[in-house]
Chain A
Amino acid sequence: MLADARLAGTPAESLLDSLREGQAAEIVFQFRLYREQAGLASLFGDRLIREKTVIRQGMLDVFDRRFIVRDDAGGSADYRDPSSFVQGFFSIAGCDLGDPDGDEPGRLYVLARIRYSPVRLVPPLNIVSLFTRRTAVITRWAEAELGGRQ
């Protein structure tokens, strides 16, 4: 099961300005795959089948004047064109959530949210993120229904 996500409505200029100032930006995609529970079990909420988090950092290589996107799995991508970089940084495609057992009863759905920090704070400065929302944008959980045997 593959999931796509994109952060919309965020001005690209804030990202590019931050990188041109020599900062790194960070975006975290968080996916949760749930199966709806029925009967008494529903009192305890739906069952979390799988959770996946992808962390990406965007930066500008001042020597080569190219934008770089690196993820926590070790992958990276280079962009000369800012608009391509913005597109690649704010969206994720084909994030593998595994294959849930299709024979189990209950509706499957995915919750996703994104946290975007135009400036990725370095330790120990990142401690300020606990006390202010100025350093990051966190979306609400968005739900996408996948269907499944009822």
Chain B
Amino acid sequence: MKPGGPADVEPARTVKAPGMARAAAATPVALLVLVLIFAVFITLIIVFSQQLIYNLSQVDFSAHFLIVLVAIAFPLILLGVIVFQITRLIRDRARRLPGARFKTRLLFFFGLIALFSSIPQAMLSITFINSTIDFWLAARIGEALKGGLEISLDYYQDKLETLSAFGRNSLLPYLLRDALQNPEAAWKNIQGVNARIDFIQVFDNSGRELLFQGKPEGRIADLGLIQGTDGALASGGGIPGGMLPKEDREGLSVMRYLTQSRISGQVVHVVSGIVLPPSFDANARRITESTQAFNQLGRYRELFRLVILVFYFFFSLPIFLLTILVSFLLADEIIQPIVNLEEATRRVAEGDFSFRILARSNDELSVLVSSFNRMVAELSSSRRKLVQAEKISAWQDIAQRLAHEIRNPLTPIKLSAQRILRKFQSNREEFERVLEPAISAIIQEVENLNRLLVEFREFARLPGPQPEETSLAELVAEVAAMYSPASPGGGTRAADGIAADGGGGAGEAWERADGQAVVIDLSHIRSEIRLRVDRAQMKRVFANLFRNAQQAMPHGGEITVLADRVHKGGTDYCRIWVRDAGEGIDEAIRSKIFEPYFTTKKGGTGLGLAIVERVVFDHNGTIGFETRRGVGTTFIIDLPMES
């Protein structure tokens, strides 16, 4: 079977890192939403600058409130989202979720960069606005505007006085006396008297034009300018004469003076006038408007400065906040694959080879994820092959041992049976003498076979632990009591405050059948250590260890039991040492002592330490040993305090 082939593919499962997986999955949508919000915001700015600032009068009064509300609400909403994200990050950090610390650092630097780019921009903008306001409010600008306006007014006043003086001139009837007969000569005379007069226009009482000379731009086209409310000219309710309102038309400004005169005995209405230069009106309007703006700026200078600052922050703060928000999403985008890899690596290390990480993009990280997935698939395949090979090897080993263990009693059984048969056929006298020992030998070997099979069955059917809270010192003392002086081959030295069953006093030794004493010292077990363990199974553990230790000291000695609390990998454990003073374990068999059916003792099943390891493992604990030839062996058991 090829690694990674179809048969090796297991259902892929995406790694779920709490909190972050959700955010990463929503990243593209959230980015799209942010882009849309940003577009809306920019549109608002454009609408604001175009429609509001330049055409404020047209905006509904209530729109002012709405605009200010949006300007305040938008950053507040963004701020709320960011506060929520920060709270979640703090919670993730407190829960020590993978990637939370890296994300914090990323966000810190993103924020710092955003801040570093915003501050110079803000300072530049504010300085520019302030200097611009100060520049336009400089005294010389005001004086220039005032001077320009005064010059315009003086110029206009001069024209006005010239025109008024001409209109009131007593020589006017004389100048116009032959005007109807010879208009050019009359105009020449007028120009001789005052060359600054640009045109003259004469009407009769009915409004009929009698004469026009001079610049055609000055000609009155609309009689309403000089007509009274009754439609008549300068009589019976008409305009009494004097300066007429300045006419501004098509870029031209025309000043007129209306007076009455007599030509050839006929009453006429004479309009004399001056046409101002084409640029006068526009320039005067510009100067007036600039003066107006200048005065307004002077009046609202500080308020305007403040408002500009406020608006700057209204517009720049949301952009800054948007940057932070985008940073959150980007941080998730960057961190999530790393978190997934970390989680997947941990699961694989724990032995779960079915995990696969789903790559959501085609970037470098997805290549890494694909490589990781391939590696896990190959590891999984290799591991299965290895396990399969180990199983086959183990079964072969067991078959060999079983065959060996079963064959051993079969030989004496066969020999005994053959002996009985032979004596029965050849020597009836000896038959009766041989029968009983031969049958006894057969029964003994069959019983040995039966005991062997019972132990195998018990090992195979070892039930799961039923934990209950118990005192370690009491539990060990109960086991040690089996080795008390009342029992053959043992004695105990009790733990502090614990009375060992069997009445063994401290330091009291049990005399073995061969006269050698074995002492079990429990005085180093702290009496306050309490564990949640299956009492029966744990008794079996200590019984096996004590029996092994006893057998390792054929000439007697001391078995010492110690226990204490240790902290390992974030968990509290109870560490138990069981030490003997035997000959130690041969280096050649050290790696096999926990294997089932491995034994060096005649008649041993090889299941004692296998059962010990299995029980400790079922209690989520670990077991190991240290041994030195000629000094002794110490078995070390770690059991979690909260099993």
Contact = CB atoms under 8 A, between A and B. Distances in A.
Interface stretch (B184-192, B285-293, B345-353, B423-431): B285-293
Interface string B280-311: 00001000110111011101100110111011
A24 B292 contact: yes
A127 B308 contact: yes
A22 B68 CA distance: 31
Given A23-B296, A122-B289, A129-B64, A62 B303 contact: no
Given A63-B284, A64-B245, A66-B245, A125 B57 contact: no
Given A22-B292, A119-B299, A127 B304 contact: yes
A26 B57 contact: yes
A121 B298 CA distance: 12
Interface string A99-126: 0000000000000010100011111111
B69 to A, nearest CB: 11
A127 B292 contact: no
B304 A128 contact: yes
Given A22-B291, A23-B296, A130 B64 contact: yes
A130 B296 contact: no
Interface string B53-89: 1101110010010011000000000000000000000
Contact of B296 (A28, A66, A72, A119): A119
B67 A130 contact: yes
Interface residues of B, number: 34
B462 interface: no
B53 A126 contact: yes
Contacts, number: 76
A123 B304 CA distance: 11
Contact of A22 (B52, B54, B57, B295): B295
A132 B64 CA distance: 11
Interface in A4-39: 21-24, 26, 28, 30
For the complex, would chain B's binding face be called helix, strand, loop or mixed by DSSP majority? Answer: helix
Contacts of B289: 122
A131 B284 CA distance: 32
B153 interface: yes
A64 B246 contact: yes
Given A126-B53, A128-B307, A131-B310, A23 B295 contact: yes
Given A28-B57, A62-B288, A66-B245, A130 B295 contact: no
B307 A127 contact: yes
Contacts of B58: 53, 55
Interface string A47-80: 0000001010000011110100000100000100
Nearest to A80: B245
A22 B288 CA distance: 7
Given A55-B57, A115-B61, A125 B293 contact: yes
A131 B307 contact: yes
B76 to A, nearest CB: 18
A142 interface: no
B300 A125 contact: yes
Contacts of A132: 303
Interface in B294-333: 295-297, 299-300, 303-304, 306-308, 310-311
B304 A125 contact: yes
A3 interface: no
Nearest to A124: B53
Contact of B297 (A61, A78, A125, A135): A125
A123 B296 contact: no
Nearest to B308: A127
A59 to B, nearest CB: 9
Given A63-B152, A129-B56, 20 more contacts: A21-B295, A26-B57, A63-B153, A63-B156, A63-B246, A115-B61, A119-B296, A119-B299, A120-B57, A121-B56, A122-B293, A123-B53, A125-B296, A125-B300, A125-B304, A127-B304, A130-B64, A130-B67, A131-B303, A132-B303
13 contacts: A61-B246, A62-B288, A63-B246, A64-B245, A78-B245, A121-B56, A122-B289, A126-B56, A127-B308, A127-B311, A128-B304, A129-B64, A131-B303
8 pairs of A and B residues whose beta carbons are closest in the complex? A126-B56, A122-B293, A123-B54, A128-B307, A63-B156, A128-B303, A123-B53, A55-B57
Interface of B: 52-54, 56-58, 61, 64, 67-68, 149, 152-153, 156, 245-246, 284, 288-289, 291-293, 295-297, 299-300, 303-304, 306-308, 310-311
